[in-house]
Every structure is written in C-alpha cells, then in structure tokens.
Amino acid sequence: MGNSFRIDPGAADAAADRFGEAASALRAVDVAGPFAPVEGALPGSATSVATVWTSTRMGATVQVLAERVKGVADGTHATVANYRNSDGAGAGRFGRLAR
C-alpha cells in the first residue's frame, strides 16, 4: 500500500480535547495584569504608554493563539467525526454485500 497511515480515532479525539483545554487556558491568561503596576506608577509617561501598548498587543496575540488552537481542536474533532461516519457507511455497504 502506498502512502497511508492509521490513527486511533479515540486517541485523536482525546488529543483534540487537550487542544481545547489549552485554548481555554490561553483565553484565561491575564496578560495585562502584570503590567498594571508599571502603568499606575508612571501615569502619563512614555513608559506607561509603552506598557499599555505592549500589554494590549500581547493580550491580543494570546487571544489569537487561543482561537487558532481551538481551531485545531475543532478541526480534529470534525475529522474524527467524518472518519467515523465514512467508516460506518462503508461498513454498512460491505455488510449488505455479505448477506
């Protein structure tokens, strides 16, 4: 057989669950919180402005990463569901042939 591989659908679903958990953990990360003391200690300064700029962009980046990781989880779950549906449909066809 040519270029092929096999996966365990249950293991793939479990991996997708872990990706989903990672996405949730990323969404919950407080990126701006640790920067707050700098902003408050130096209000109106260039350092304060830079701190807000940095924390805002870091927070947005983490949220984008979380969405991408969630996309991996969703895509993996969808792939496993499609595999199971196709496998079941194929098994049904072969089962009818055996009768």
Per-residue pLDDT tens digits for 75-86: 999 999 999 998
Assessment of whether the complete model's pTM goes beyond 0.85? no
Q: Where are the domains of the chain?
A: 9-94
**Residue (of 61, 35, 59, 60) closest to 48 by Cα position:** 35
In this prediction, residue 94 has a pLDDT band, given cuts at 50, 70 and 90, of confident
Instruction: Give the whole-angstrom CA distance, residue 25 versus residue 19.
Output: 10
**Residue (of 64, 66, 65, 42) closest to 52 by Cα position:** 42
Instruction: Give the whole-angstrom CA distance, residue 57 versus residue 32.
Output: 9
